[in-house]
Structure formats: C-alpha cells, structure tokens
Amino acid sequence: MGRVLVVDDEEYMREIMASVLSAYGFDVIKAGDGLEALEQFQGQGEPISLVVMDIAMPRMDGLEATKRIKEIRPSTKVVLISGNDRPPANSVADGFLAKPFRIDELCAAVQSILSDDKPRPRVA
C-alpha cells in the first residue's frame, strides 16, 4: 500500500500509530523526533509515500522537519498531528489531525491523502 514514516516523541503514540497502520497493510518506519525523521527519510532506498508527524517534539519540531522533507522531495505527503485543534498557519503539510483522534480517523486521513493524485490544498 505504501511506506509510511510515523514520527512522535511519545513512544506509546508512535507504537499505536505504527501498529495500526501496519495492520492496514502499510510498511511503517518510526522516528522519535524531527532529526531522526530526516535521517530515516534520507536513509531509505525505497521512497516514503507519507509522513505522519507530531508538531511538538524535542531537537527539531514537526514544522521544521516537514519543511525540510518537502525541500528534499516535494511530492512526499505529510500529515501533521497536534494537541492543538487547528493546523498551524505556516505549514506546508498536506493534512492535519488534532489529538486526540480516533484510529479510524488516522487511517481515513492516510488513505485519502495517498489515494488522491490531484494536488491537495495546503493547510492554511
């Protein structure tokens, strides 16, 4: 179905998202912060189709990591997740989920973004 990079500094969140997405047939890679996400993103032989990334993380936050990932490979889709109920105004992400979210909401967002070949409007 595609390769997904799950990035969250909270291990239990990262593990739950990875387990669910794996069960749905995605090849999942995990990272604990933005710097590790960049290392994983650049170190993969097979391209990563989608990144699901928390915004608030140590070392490098999700906004900066998203910006850098998009500079490396603009076609990579990114869904940001956050405890805030609205997406950040300056984001280049393709989607947003507010925590807490249900597992079916995560899967629906991932499937929707990966199945849509048309350019998606950027998060406002």
* Beta bridge mates, 4: 28, 50
* Beta bridge mates, 50: 4, 77
- The count of other CB atoms within 10 Å of the CB of residue 51 is 27
**Which backbone phi and psi does 6 adopt, to 5 degrees?**
-105, 125
* For residues 68-86, average pLDDT: 90
CB 51 within 8 A of CB 68: no
Please determine, for residue 124, whether its predicted confidence score (pLDDT) is greater than 50. no
Residue spans per domain, the chain: 3-82+93-115
> CA–CA separation, 115 vs 92, rounded Å?
19
Please determine, for residue 123, whether its predicted confidence score (pLDDT) is greater than 50. no
DSSP characters over 12-78 = HHHHHHHHHHHHTT-EEEEESSHHHHHHHHHH-SSPP-EEEEESS-SSS-HHHHHHHHHHH-TT-EE
Residues of the chain with pLDDT > 90, as a percent, come to 60
| Tens digit of each residue's pLDDT (9 = 90 or more) over 7-36 | 999 999 999 999 999 998 889 999 999 999
Please determine, for residue 108, whether its predicted confidence score (pLDDT) is greater than 90. no
Residues of the chain with pLDDT > 70, as a percent, come to 92
pTM: 0.87
* Beta bridge mates, 51: 5, 78
CATH no. of 3-82+93-115: 3.40.50.2300
| Tens digit of each residue's pLDDT (9 = 90 or more) over 79-94 | 999 988 777 777 888 9
**Which backbone phi and psi does 76 adopt, to 5 degrees?**
-70, 130
**Which backbone phi and psi does 36 adopt, to 5 degrees?**
-65, -35
